[in-house]
């Protein structure tokens, strides 16, 4: 282990042999860190944190501390971070609030400087979170979403697969998969065509998703009518995911904006 002499690492923490730890970083007992992970200077990794392999954690990152919740009265917290993530300077990731809960970061995410991930969030794989994003407790972000800078996300909101949220937006309702949203409050204004293309969706699949999007947002149908129409006419996995996401929404989904809102 390449641990700087000014780091404070509990003897009850479990670090793989090649983990690097910078000066003035504190790692509490019970922390588990996988091979190939590099941790910068002046970080704080609290007990109950499990970090996977080949992560890069930059200076002044805080992971696993108590949740920011007025009703929190102590108790064990938990954070689980996957593999190959990049977590930049001054990011904070708080431990769970609920008994037996866990704040989760998946694999291959890039979390940029000064962003915050609140308690009990579930962050998927391949997600980009730009600088100064504030993610409240219990938020779910599905795979390959992109969150623009200075975005605020309300607690319990869900962000769908391959969505893109424009910078400085305020997200108070669920954002369906494969869409783009912007504004305060955020509204959906387009299918995420560029993101779909980059993810390998061919022209035929993009066209089918465009028809699903139009049926839900552009045809003037009610919620129930649109869902029924999509279920009856589009039988492919992404359409089914779109429908299930919308049907399971508890906060409601973002409305439609005919043009991008600033």
DSSP letter at 181 equals E
The tokens for 71 are: 């009703």
Q: Is 48 left (phi over 0), alpha (psi -120 to 50) or beta?
A: left
Other beta carbons within 10 Å of 81:
27
Angle at 214 between CA 212 and CA 216, to 5 degrees: 70
Q: Which amino acids are annotated catalytic?
A: 119-120, 137
Check: CB of residue 25 under 8 Å from CB of residue 4: yes
Contact present, 22 and 5 (Cβ < 8 Å): no
Element containing residue 182 per DSSP (H, E): strand 179-183
| Distance of alpha carbon 233 from alpha carbon 110, whole angstroms | 37
23 dihedral zone (left: phi>0; alpha: psi -120 to 50; beta): beta
The set of residues, in sequence order, having a beta carbon less than 8 Å from that of 244 and lying 6+ positions away, is none
């Amino acid at each position: 282990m390449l641990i700087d002499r000014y780091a404070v690492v509990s003897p009850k923490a479990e670090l793989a042999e090649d983990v690097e730890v910078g000066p003035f970083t504190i790692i509490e007992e019970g922390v588990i860190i996988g091979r190939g992970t590099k941790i910068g200077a002046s970080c704080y990794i609290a007990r109950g944190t499990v970090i996977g392999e080949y992560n890069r954690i930059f200076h002044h990152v805080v992971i696993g501390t108590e949740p920011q919740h007025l009703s929190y009265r102590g108790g064990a917290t938990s954070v689980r971070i996957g593999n190959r993530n990049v977590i930049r300077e001054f990011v904070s990731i708080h431990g769970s609030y609920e008994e037996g809960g866990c704040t989760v970061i998946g694999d291959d995410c890039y979390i940029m400087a000064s962003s915050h991930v609140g308690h009990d969030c579930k962050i998927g794989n391949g997600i980009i979170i730009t600088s100064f994003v504030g993610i409240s407790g219990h938020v779910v972000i599905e795979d390959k979403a992109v969150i623009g800078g200075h975005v605020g996300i309300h607690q319990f909101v869900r962000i769908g697969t391959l969505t893109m949220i424009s910078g400085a937006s305020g997200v108070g309702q669920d954002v369906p998969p494969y869409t783009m949203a912007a504004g305060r409050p955020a509204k959906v204004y387009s299918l995420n065509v560029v993101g779909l293309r980059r993810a390998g969706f061919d022209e035929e699949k993009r066209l089918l998703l465009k028809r699903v999007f139009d049926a839900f947002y552009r045809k003037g149908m009610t919620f129930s009518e649109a869902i029924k129409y999509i279920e009856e006419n589009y039988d492919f996995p992404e359409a089914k995911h779109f429908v299930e996401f919308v049907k399971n929404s508890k906060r409601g989904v973002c409305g439609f904006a005919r043009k991008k809102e600033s």
